[in-house]
Amino acid sequence: MTHSPSNVIHLDRVRCLECGTKYVKPAAGGTMNENPGCPRCGYAGWIDAGIPPRRSAGKAS
C-alpha cells in the first residue's frame, strides 16, 4: 500500500503578469503570508508558466 505524506506541498510553476519572472507557488492557494506574490516585484497576479507570453503589439517579429 502506498501512503502519501500529509506534509507534502504541491507547487505550481507560474509566471508573474507584471515582470515575467517564473517561480513556484503553493497549488492550494492560501493567504498572502502562505502564498505571497512575485519574489522579484511583489505583484500578486500570475499565469501558468507553460502558457507562452503574449507578444506586444508594437514589437516586430
Residue 61 has pLDDT above 50, yes or no: no
Q: What is the pLDDT of residues 13-43, one digit of tens each?
A: 999 999 999 999 888 777 666 677 899 999 9
Q: What is the pTM of this model?
A: 0.68
Residue 58 has pLDDT above 80, yes or no: no
Grid coordinates in use for 22? Answer: 517564473
pLDDT of residue 5: 65
Alpha-carbon distance of 41 to 51, in angstroms, equals 20
